[in-house]
Each structure stands twice: as C-alpha cells, then as structure tokens.
Amino acid sequence: MTARPIGVEVACDGPTGRDDCPHSAAIPALVTSRTARQVRADGRADGWTTRRAPGRLLDLCPNCRTPTPAPAAG
C-alpha cells in the first residue's frame, strides 16, 4: 500500500496574526488542490485574504481579516 498526500488545509492566523482564530477557521482542501498556494486560491472565493509578514504569509478568514479595534480606556 502506498500513501500519497491528497492536499493541505490552510488555517486562519487570527485577527492580529499573533493569536489563534476565535472561530477555528480553515480552508478545506478540494480534490484538485494539492498545494498551500492552490488552497489559498480556493479560499479567496470565500473571502479569505493573505498578507505578508516577516518570513511568512498570514492567512485571514473573513471574520478576522478586519481586526476589531481595542476598547477605549476610560
């Protein structure tokens, strides 16, 4: 029996890129998606965005792509 990779899943990096996604969001790999680049392209159709960070990409689901402002002190 031979095991073959059937694709990858890309998970959301959270609203600030330094924390976990509160929704545990991930882009599921489609049958034709075998690389992270292909899965990210699938996610863009569902509203996912990608932005560069030092040395890597941040993947943000539709809920996390716009960070919520911190509450005002006072």
3-47 pLDDT per residue, tens: 766 667 888 998 887 788 888 888 877 778 888 888 899 889 889
pTM score of the predicted model: 0.70
Q: Give the pLDDT score at 60.
A: 92
Surface-to-core class of residue 17, CB atoms within 10 Å of its CB (0-12 exposed, 13-18 middle, 19+ buried): middle
Three-state DSSP class for residue 60: strand
